[in-house]
Amino acid sequence: MSTIPDVPIPPDLSRRYSRTPEGRAWLASLPVLIGQFLDQWELLPDLEPGALPWNGHGGVVIPVRRRDGARFGGNGGGNGDLAVLKVAFPHEEATREHHALALWGGHGAVRLLAADAGSCALLLERLDACRSLLDVPLETAVTVWGGVVRQLSVVPDDRPQWRDIDHVAARAEQWSDELPATWEHLARPFPRWLLEAALEVCQTRGAVGRRSAKDVLVHADLHYLNILARPGLPGPGTGQEAGLEAYAAIDPQPMIGEAEFAVAPVLWNRLRELPQHNPGRALLARCGDFSAAAGLDAETARQWSLVREVENALGYASQRHHEGDLARSLWVASTLAGRTLPGLPGPQQLPSPGEAAGEAAGLAGG
């Protein structure tokens, strides 16, 4: 029988999941789950006294070592004796994460060491949680991101992990039906022309995707904080071979389709770094720069990014306390469509993703 470890749960994770019965049940089960997998995989927590584990939006990540002091195996970073235990709240993305990581095999993404699919528990190589692409100059981030995408863009084959991963083209067909209905239900929260621009992308790119022979595995949430440095490896600019493996992607939202679908998150983040003069032109240039670094088509990336931000905007319009997030999505979507909506704050005044919601939760005591 596993013992319940003395591993604290990060307060913001507790706040987030205490709002629903399912979340509260998962929080109550977490200590037992953590103890179960520490025992099953013969691990010890590697936390300083009083330190909290890491966490993202949907799970807890605990630094661990092997109980017997053995190494986990070559993870490329010179820290093979270190790993992390990740336990995620069971949801669609979490149930497919281990499939994508197995397909990538540590090339461009964090290396998967063990998995328990039923509990959404993963044993992963340990990356440097304090060094992400958010911490490097944008021109460096462009180069690193492009290299990561090139490594992640593997072509489907006969491995069984592909079977449970959705297609981008199917998602576009779904949006063709859902976006207009949601727009009407929410009392038309933005002009019809922007909705129609998104629907045109769904119809054209969805059809192209169905016919395309260019399908690859896509990390659909590849923003700056989801690319972390590998400890012990020199950063970019210190040699091509070292630079290729210096960073790795985490937290995949895997899909199959055009690689350009991955560009959107680097456009709706770091908006405050756009210039005051003609920021819209600079956003389009950023789309071109990231696309070129990854060997992608900038126009296809622009189209997918437009429809993804329209979908985001409808999601934010349906929630309380997300006015800032809604404004950001509308600024990006309309700018990518070539007609920035009037009356929106400039990009330097827009919140970063999650920032406005976090402030609202704090004000609400949630």
Query: 143, 293 in Cβ contact below 8 A?
Result: yes
Angle at the Cα of 75 (from 69 to 79), degrees rounded to 5? 45
Query: 27, 59 in Cβ contact below 8 A?
Result: no
- List the one residue out of 173, 175, 251 whose CA is nearest residue 210: 173
CA dist 122 and 101 (Å) reads 10
**What ranges make up the beta strands (E) of the chain?**
43-45, 54-55, 59-66, 83-88, 112-116, 121-125, 128-132, 216-219, 227-229, 247-249, 254-257
Distance of CA 205 to the CA centre of its chain: 22
Which ranges of 228-322 does DSSP label H, i.e. alpha helix?
Answer: 240-245, 264-267, 279-294, 298-317
- List the one residue out of 333, 133, 330 whose CA is nearest residue 224: 133
What is the enclosing helix (H) or strand (E) of 232? none
Place of tokens 């696309």: 291
B/e letters for 348-364, b = 16+ CB within 10 Å, e = fewer, are eebbbbeebbeebeeee
Residues 6+ apart with CB under 8 A from 145: 133, 222, 224, 227, 266, 290, 293, 294
CA dist 13 and 56 (Å) reads 8
| 221 counts as catalytic | yes
Exactly one of 46, 158, 221, 325 is catalytic; name it. Answer: 221
Place of tokens 């939760």: 361
The catalytic residues are 221
